[in-house]
Amino acid sequence: MAGVGPDPLMTMRLYNTLTRREEDFAPLADQTVRMYACGLTVYARGHIGNFRTFVCIDVLRRTLKYVEGYAMRHVMNFTDVDDRTIAGARQAGMDLRRYTDQFIAAFREDARALGLEEVEEMPRATDEANLRAMAGLVAALEKNGHTYLSDGSIYFKISSMPGYGRLARLDHEGMQDGARVDGDTYGKENARDFVLWKGARADEPHWDLVQPSGRPGWHLECSAMALRLLGDSIDIHAGGIDLIFPHHENEIAQSEGATGRPFARFWVHVEYLLVDDEKMSKSLGNTYTIPDLVAKGFRPSAVRYLLLSAHYRKPLNFTWASLAQAEESLRRLTDFLARVDRVERGGGGAHAAIAVRLAEAEAAFAASMRDDLNTAAALGTIFELVRALNSAMDAEEVGAGDVPGIRALFGMVDRVLGILSLRRAEEAAPPVPIGEIEQAIADRQAARRRRDFAAADRIRDALAARGVLLEDNAAGTRWKRK
Ligand code: AMP
Ligand code: ZN
C-alpha cells in the first residue's frame, strides 16, 4: 500500500509513556507495525469516552498505514471475563458468553457507525486458544519463580521483578512485600502482588486449564493474547490513560517475567473524554452512547469529528455545543466539496497557484499527523486550505483542471481521518433500514390483495413521513428517497 512516505527526513514522532518523551517511531521488523490495543470490557454498551480512545487509536493505525506506508498487524481484544462481566451476567441471570455477546454485537455496530477500520484480530479472552495461552503464561511465570499460591489463587510476586513500576513511575517504598490484591482494578496506592488466576468460586465461571481450577485475572488476559497473536516483542501497546496502572504495569511484569524480553517498545495512552470536568464513565452515570446521540439527531461522523478535534493527549470536554459545532464544521467541508463538483462541471483549466497551495497543504497535513498525531493542527490546515480555495473560487481562479488535485488531497485526508467518507455514507444510506422498507412493501401488497386499501395507504404514508416514497409500476413497487 503506498503511503505519502516513508520519508527518511520526516519520521513519525510518537509520545512514549514509558520514557515520557516523544520519540521517532518505526516498526522493528518487516515494515509491519505490531500493535495491541486494549478493547472494550463487554459488560455494557461502549460509551463515547471509550470510543474517544478507539477512534484515536484508529487514526494512529490509519496514519501508520496511509501516511507512513507501513503494513499493520493490529489486535484489539474484547475483555469478556473479569469482575464486571461476571457480576453483570450473574445479575442478568445469563451465561457469561451469551451475556457478553450482546455488547460485542453493539460494539461492532458502533465501530462501523464511527468508521473504525477493521483490525487484523479481535480475540475474546474466553476463546479456547486464548485460555490455553493464559495457562501457558502462568506455567512460564511459575517456572521463572514469579508466582505463589495463596487461598487457592495464583498471585504474581512483584518483588520478583526489579523493574516493576517503571511505566507508572511507582515509588517502591509503599509496596508491602507479600500483601495482595484480588480485584481487577485498584489504585497506585495499592500496588501489591496481584492475582493472575483466581481460584474457582461457586458463583463464577471457571476452567480446569490451570490448577487449581479457576478463572483468569484481567491483566493476564491481555498479556496472553498479545504474546500469542503478535509475538514476544510488539511495537505499540495502546489504551486509555486509566490503563497505565495497574493494567499495563502488570501486563509488562507478566509478559517480561515469562519471556525475559522487552514486551512493548512504545506505550500510547489517550486522555479522557470528560463531562463537566469529570471522566465520562459508567460508574459516574454520565455516559452517552452512539445510539443516545443519534436519537438526539446527531450523526456518528460529527461524533468522530469532535473526538478528533483535540490532540489525543489533552483532555476533551464533551458538550452539546461542541457537538453542534462539529456538525457545522463538517457541513463547511461538505459544502466546499459540493462547490468543487460545480467547478468541475463549469470547465476551465488548471492553475499553477492552486497546485502549489495543495502541495503545501498536503505537506503540512502529513507533518501534523507525524507530529505525535496532531489531529487538531491537521484539521486546522484543512480549514485554512478550504478558506483559501473558497476565495480562489470566488475570484474564478479555480478550474475543472484543478479538481483532480483537490480531490486527491481530500481523498488522502479522508483515508487518514476517516470523516468525509463516513458522512457521505450516512447521506447515501436510506432514511429507513432496507429490511424495514421491504417488509412494509410486502405488508402493503398483502393489504391490497385483501382489498384493505386504507391499511395499504397507511403503510405508504408512514414510510413517506420517514422520507421514503413508494412508486407502483407494472413490475411491482419500488422505493425512492423523498
Ligand atoms: P473498559 O471497557 O473500561 O475496559 O475501557 C475500554 C477503553 O476505553 C480503555 O482503553 C479505557 O482506557 C478507555 N476509556 C474509558 N473511559 C474513557 C474516557 N472517559 N475517555 C477516554 N477513554 C476512556
Ligand atoms: Zn488490556
DSSP element (H, E) containing 372: none
Alpha carbon dihedral 244, 104, 111, 77, in 10-degree steps, equals 40
447 CB under 6 A from ligand 1?
no
pLDDT at 121 over 70: yes
85 CB under 6 A from ligand 1?
no
**pLDDT score recorded for residue 431:** 80
Residue with CA at minimum distance from ligand 1 atom 21: 272
Q: How far is the CA of 219 from the centre of ligand 2 (A)?
A: 6
70 CB under 6 A from ligand 1?
no
- Counting atoms of ligand 1 from 1, which one is nearest the CA of 43? 2
311-333 residues labelled b (16+ CB within 10 A) or e (exposed): bbbeebebeeeebeebbebbeeb
84 CB under 6 A from ligand 1?
no
Q: How far is the CA of 469 from the centre of ligand 2 (A)?
A: 48
| Three-state DSSP state, 392 | helix
83 CB under 6 A from ligand 1?
no
Q: How far is the CA of 120 from the centre of ligand 2 (A)?
A: 17
**pLDDT score recorded for residue 4:** 54
Ligand lying closest to the C-alpha of residue 318: 1
pTM for the predicted model, two decimal places: 0.91
**pLDDT score recorded for residue 226:** 98
Model confidence pLDDT, tens digit, residues 211-244: 999 999 999 999 999 999 999 999 999 999 999 9
Give percent of the chain above pLDDT 70.
Answer: 98
**pLDDT score recorded for residue 171:** 81
**pLDDT score recorded for residue 2:** 46
Q: How far is the CA of 51 from the centre of ligand 2 (A)?
A: 15
49 CB under 6 A from ligand 1?
yes
Task: Decide: residue 53, CB within 10 A, 0-12 exposed, 13-18 middle, 19+ buried.
Answer: buried
pLDDT at 429 over 90: no
> What CA–CA distances, in Å, run from 99 to 88, 102, 356, 451, 454?
8, 6, 56, 45, 43
Cα gap 167→204, rounded to integer Å: 32
pLDDT at 6 over 70: no
Model confidence pLDDT, tens digit, residues 379-403: 999 999 999 999 999 999 999 999 9
- Counting atoms of ligand 1 from 1, which one is nearest the CA of 40? 2
Q: What is the DSSP string of 53-97?
A: HHHHHHHHHHIIIIIT--EEEEEE-BB-SSHHHHHHHHHHT--HH
Choose which residue among 36, 47, 50, 110 to substitute to test ligand 1 binding: the one with the highest number of ligand atoms within 8 A of its C-beta.
50
- pLDDT category at 476 given cuts 50, 70, 90 is confident
Which of 193, 239, 194, 211 is CA-nearest to residue 77?
239
Is 265 within 8 Å of 234 (Cβ atoms)? yes
**pLDDT score recorded for residue 7:** 54
pLDDT at 161 over 80: yes
**pLDDT score recorded for residue 284:** 94
Average pLDDT, the chain: 95
> Which residues fall within 8 angstroms of residue 280, CB to CB, at 6 or more apart?
47, 48, 49, 272, 273, 274, 286, 287, 288, 318
Residue with CA at minimum distance from ligand 1 atom 11: 240
